[in-house]
Amino acid sequence: MSTDKKQDSANSLDLRGLMCPEPVLRTKKLLDQKPEGAVEVLVDSDINVMNLTRLANSLGLSLHSKEKDGGYMVVISKKNESEAGRIPHNHDVSQTASASGQKASSQKSANTSVVFIAKDTFGEGDRDFSVNLLNVFLQTILQAGHKPQAILLANTGVRLMDPDSSVRKVLDEFKEAGIEVLACGLCVEFYGLKEKIKAEQITNMYAICEYLFSADKVISP
Amino acid sequence: MTTSNNESSRKLTANVKAAGCAAKISSLELKQVLSSIPRTQCPELLTSLENFEDAAVYKITEDIAIIETVDFFPPVVDDPFLFGRIAAVNALSDVYAMGGKPVIALNVLCFPTCDYPLSVVEEILKGGQAACAEAGVTVAGGHSIQGPEPVFGLAVTGVINPKSILTNGGAKNGDVLVLTKPLGTGVMLLGLKGDTLSQIERKQLLDSLTLLNKQALEIANKYHPSAATDITGFGLIGHTTEMALASGLAAYLYIDELPFFACAVALASQGLVPAGAYANRNTFSSSVINLEHIEIAIQDLLFDPQTSGGLMFALQEEQAVRLLAELTAEGLTASIIGGFVEGKAGQVEVKK
C-alpha cells in the first residue's frame, strides 16, 4: 500500500468526534508508520484514553495524557532506548502507562511458545502441496486459538512475507491478533525482499535467539 | 458531517455510539433512578425487582404464569437482516433465562426514514421475524417511531408453570455454574466494526450472536438447575454478582475455564474495549476478589457487556457434568466456569 504523504510528515492526529474503535485503530496505524518517533493524538473521552493505554501497553510503549480543550491530548512514545529492541523480556504490561489507575499484572503468561519457520514449505515433497500445507498449519493454529508469542521467519521462510506469497494473508491475521511476526533481517536482505516487508517486522539474529531461548516451547514445522 | 448523501451506501452502524447491549444504561445510574420510583405491591408478581431478574413473571393460575420482557438496542452490524435477527434472539433470551417458553412478540422499532431507504426497515423486521419463526414465536404487531438512530428489539410474552421458574435467587451452596456461549461479544463487535476480524473470527461471532438459547434451556431443564440467567449487558461479573446476591451466596469464577472467543483477549489488550465495559467495571469491581492478579485484558473481558450472550445455570456438580456432556454433544459451546459457596452475599472471587 502506498503511504499518504501528508500523514507521513505529521506525528499528530485529531481523533475527536470519531466513534469507537476508530481512535484506537487510527492511532495504531500512525504508530505502525512511525516506529521511531512519538505520536500525539487528540481524543474526546477518558474511555478513549483508557483504550489507548491498553494499545500502548500491548506495543510496549509509554503513554501520557492531559486534558485539553474539553478532550484529552495523548502522547505515546518509546519508553527508553534499552527497551527498544522488540525482545520478549519487555513483554510485561507497563506500569508507567496505567492512566486508568489499574495495576498491571507482572506475571508472565504461562507456557510461552514461539513458532520458528526456517523454510517456506511444510516438510519436503511436492512444492505447491508443501506450501499449501504450511498455510493450513498456520490457519489451524489461528482457528484453534493457540497464542504463540511470536512467529519467527528465517532463511527461505522469509519468502512467506512476500506480498505475492499465498501464506502472507494468514501471517497478517496473526499480526492483527497481536502476535508478533518477525523476519530475519539477513535473510530478507539475501532474498531481495527488503522493499516488500515492513521495517518493523524485520528483526536480527540477536532478537530471534532471545525469543527462542526465553520461550517454554519452540514449534518448528 | 462527512456522511454520504447516497442513502443506500450509508452504513447502519455509522451513527451508533454504543452497539448492542453495550448501549445499556449503567447499573449504578439505573439503581439511582429507580430508587425514587414508588413500587406497587402485586401479589401475582412472582419476580422481585430487587433481584434484577431477566423478565417479570405474573401468575394467572396455580399452573400458568406469563413472562414479560422487552429488549432493544442500536445496530451491532451493518447488515439489516442480521441486525434484526440478533436483536430478536437477544430479546427472546430473557424468557429462556427465566426457564419459560416465548409465545408471542411485538416489534419495537425506532428508525430515521430520512437517512435510510425503507427497504432497510423491511430487512430488519424480516430478520426479527426469522428468529421468532425459528423459536416458534408469533410476531403479533409492534410499534414504530422516527428517531435519530435506528433501534430495534422485541417485547416478548412467554408462558411457564410457576413452579418451574428459574430465577437469579435459587442458587444453592455447592452449586457450580455452566455457561452456554463464548464470552467477549462486546470486544468482538468493536473488532467487527473496525474490520479487524478474519473471516473465521467473524463467523464464530455471528454464529454465536444468532444462536437461540432455546435448545440450551431445553437440555438444561432435564438436569434440574436451581437458578439461571443470561449473560448480557452487565457482563459476566455483573450477572454473576446479581445471581450471588439474590441467592445470598458468594461466587467464584475459574479464569482459565472461561470460554473467550479466540481473538478477544488480543483485541482487548490492544484497546478495543467498549465504554460499557468501563461502566460495568465501575459498578461491579468492588464486589470482586483477586481482580488485581488478573491480566488487564482478561479483566476487561470479565466486564465486557455481552449481546445475545449465553445462559448461565447454577446446579449440582454431578448434574452439571452430565449437562455439559449433553450440551457439548449437541454442538453447543459449554463450560463449567465457577460456582457458589457460603460467604459474603454477592461477592465474586476470580481464581486462576
Judge contact between B323 and B178, C-beta under 8 A: yes
Same domain, yes or no: A198 and A123:
yes
Pairwise CB contact (< 8 Å): B296 & A57: yes
The domain tally of chain A equals 2
> Could you tell me which residues of chain A have a Cβ less than 8 Å from any Cβ in chain B?
19-22, 24-25, 28, 45, 47, 50-55, 57-58, 93, 102-105, 107, 109, 142-145, 147, 173, 176-179
Task: Give A142's contacts in chain B (Cβ within 8 Å).
Answer: 198, 200, 262
Is A69 a member of any domain?
yes
Same domain, yes or no: A142 and A211:
yes
Task: Give A181's contacts in chain B (Cβ within 8 Å).
Answer: none
Q: Which of residues 16-75 of B touch A (CB under 8 A)?
A: 16-18
Confidence of residue A208 (pLDDT cuts 50, 70, 90): confident
Pairwise CB contact (< 8 Å): B271 & A176: no
| CA–CA gap between residue B72 and residue B153 (Å, rounded) | 4
Q: At B140, which amino acid appears? A: A
Same domain, yes or no: A70 and A133:
no
Q: Which of A196-200, B63-67, B204-208 has the lowest mean pLDDT?
A: A196-200
What integer pLDDT is reported at residue B20 of this predicted model?
63
Q: Is the pLDDT of residue A98 over 70?
A: no
Is A118 a member of any domain?
yes
Q: Is the pLDDT of residue A4 over 50?
A: no
Is A169 a member of any domain?
yes
pLDDT > 70 in chain B, percent: 94
Instruction: Output the domain CATH number for residue A27.
Output: 3.30.110.40
Q: ipTM for the complex?
A: 0.83
What integer pLDDT is reported at residue A207 of this predicted model?
76
Task: Give B272's contacts in chain A (Cβ within 8 Å).
Answer: 20-21, 24, 51
Q: Is the pLDDT of residue A110 over 70?
A: no
What integer pLDDT is reported at residue B21 of this predicted model?
59
Pairwise CB contact (< 8 Å): B270 & A58: yes
Please name the residue of chain A whose CA is at the shortest distance from the CA of residue B295. A105
What integer pLDDT is reported at residue B138 of this predicted model?
98
Same domain, yes or no: A117 and A208:
yes
C-alpha dihedral, B211 to B215 to B219 to B224, nearest 10°: 80
Same domain, yes or no: A118 and A164:
yes
Cell of A87: 525482545
Q: Which of A82-86, A160-164, A175-179, A210-214 has the lowest mean pLDDT?
A: A82-86
Cell of B133: 419463526
| CA–CA gap between residue B294 and residue B352 (Å, rounded) | 8
Q: Is the pLDDT of residue B158 over 90?
A: yes
pLDDT tens per residue, range A135-178: 889 988 888 888 888 999 999 999 999 988 889 989 988 888 88
Please name the residue of chain A whose CA is at the shortest distance from the CA of residue B22. A20
What integer pLDDT is reported at residue B4 of this predicted model?
39
pLDDT tens per residue, range B82-107: 999 999 999 999 999 999 999 999 99
Judge contact between A59 and A31, C-beta under 8 A: yes
Q: Which of B37-41, B194-198, B234-238, B269-273 has the lowest mean pLDDT?
A: B37-41
What integer pLDDT is reported at residue B126 of this predicted model?
98
| CA of A18 vs chain B CAs: smallest distance (Å) | 9
What integer pLDDT is reported at residue B312 of this predicted model?
98
Distance of CA B183 to the CA centre of its chain: 11
Inter-CA distances, B222 with A73, B45, B60, B162, B181, Å: 56, 26, 25, 17, 19
For residue B97, give the nearest of B37, B160, B38, B147 by alpha carbon. B160
Residue-number span of the structural domain to which A22 is assigned: 5-91
Domain boundary among A91, A125, A155: A91
Same domain, yes or no: A118 and A72:
no
Q: Is the pLDDT of residue B245 over 50?
A: yes
Same domain, yes or no: A83 and A122:
no
Task: Give A109's contacts in chain B (Cβ within 8 Å).
Answer: 295
Same domain, yes or no: A66 and A145:
no
Task: Give A136's contacts in chain B (Cβ within 8 Å).
Answer: none
Backbone angles phi, psi at B204, to 5 degrees: -60, -45
| CA–CA gap between residue A161 and residue B237 (Å, rounded) | 41
| CA of B187 vs chain A CAs: smallest distance (Å) | 10
What integer pLDDT is reported at residue A84 of this predicted model?
41
Give the other-Cβ count within 10 Å of B50's Cβ.
11
Which residues, other chains included, contact A23 with Cβ-Cβ below 8 Å and sequence gap of 6+? A15, A41, A43, A48, A51, A52
Q: Which of A96-100, B146-150, B216-220 has the lowest mean pLDDT?
A: A96-100
| More confident position, B55 or A199 | B55
Confidence of residue A99 (pLDDT cuts 50, 70, 90): very low
Same domain, yes or no: A121 and A212:
yes
Residues B210-228, mean pLDDT to the nearest whole number? 97
Pairwise CB contact (< 8 Å): A105 & B273: no
Instruction: Output the domain CATH number for residue A129.
Output: 3.40.1260.10
Residues B164-180, mean pLDDT to the nearest whole number? 96
Q: What average pLDDT does chain A have?
A: 78
Pairwise CB contact (< 8 Å): A50 & B273: yes
Residues A82-96, mean pLDDT to the nearest whole number? 36
Q: Is the pLDDT of residue B251 over 80?
A: yes
Residues B305-309, mean pLDDT to the nearest whole number? 96
Pairwise CB contact (< 8 Å): A142 & B262: yes
Confidence of residue A203 (pLDDT cuts 50, 70, 90): confident
Which residues, other chains included, contact B325 with Cβ-Cβ below 8 Å and sequence gap of 6+? none
Q: Which of residues 168-197 of B touch A (CB under 8 A)?
A: 190-191, 193-194, 196
What integer pLDDT is reported at residue B166 of this predicted model?
94
What integer pLDDT is reported at residue B5 of this predicted model?
40
Is A9 a member of any domain?
yes
Residues A62-71, mean pLDDT to the nearest whole number? 89
Q: Which domains does chain B have, with CATH numbers?
A: 7-164 (3.30.1330.10), 168-351 (3.90.650.10)
Inter-CA distances, A149 with A86, A89, A170, B266, Å: 12, 11, 16, 11
Is B21 among the residues known to form the active site? yes
What integer pLDDT is reported at residue A39 of this predicted model?
92
| CA of A189 vs chain B CAs: smallest distance (Å) | 30
| CA of A172 vs chain B CAs: smallest distance (Å) | 10
| More confident position, A133 or B88 | B88
Task: Give A45's contacts in chain B (Cβ within 8 Å).
Answer: 275
Same domain, yes or no: A127 and A79:
no
Judge contact between B51 and B168, C-beta under 8 A: yes
pLDDT tens per residue, range B129-153: 999 999 999 999 999 999 888 999 9
Same domain, yes or no: A82 and A173:
no
Please name the residue of chain A whose CA is at the shortest distance from the CA of residue B292. A103
Q: What average pLDDT does chain B have?
A: 92
Q: Is the dihedral of CA B250, B254, B260, B263 positive or negative?
A: positive
Same domain, yes or no: A119 and A87:
no
Task: Give A24's contacts in chain B (Cβ within 8 Å).
Answer: 194, 270-272
Residues B321-347, mean pLDDT to the nearest whole number? 96
Is A168 a member of any domain?
yes
Cell of B36: 425514587
Residues B221-229, mean pLDDT to the nearest whole number? 97
What integer pLDDT is reported at residue B19 of this predicted model?
60
pLDDT > 90 in chain A, percent: 29
Cis peptide before A23 (omega within 30 of 0): no
Please name the residue of chain B whose CA is at the shortest distance from the CA of residue A108. B295
Residues B27-55, mean pLDDT to the nearest whole number? 82
Is A37 a member of any domain?
yes
Q: Is the pLDDT of residue A108 over 80?
A: no
What integer pLDDT is reported at residue B298 of this predicted model?
97
Backbone angles phi, psi at A101, to 5 degrees: 80, 10
Is A105 a member of any domain?
no
| CA of B16 vs chain A CAs: smallest distance (Å) | 8
Residues A101-113, mean pLDDT to the nearest whole number? 46
For residue B115, give the nearest of B145, B148, B87 by alpha carbon. B148
| More confident position, A185 or B260 | B260
Judge contact between A123 and A88, C-beta under 8 A: no
Is B282 near chain A, with CB under 8 Å?
no
pLDDT tens per residue, range B10-19: 788 876 766 6
What integer pLDDT is reported at residue A194 of this predicted model?
81
Please name the residue of chain B whose CA is at the shortest distance from the CA of residue A175. B266
Is A99 a member of any domain?
no
Is B200 near chain A, with CB under 8 Å?
yes
Judge contact between B177 and B339, C-beta under 8 A: yes
What integer pLDDT is reported at residue B9 of this predicted model?
55
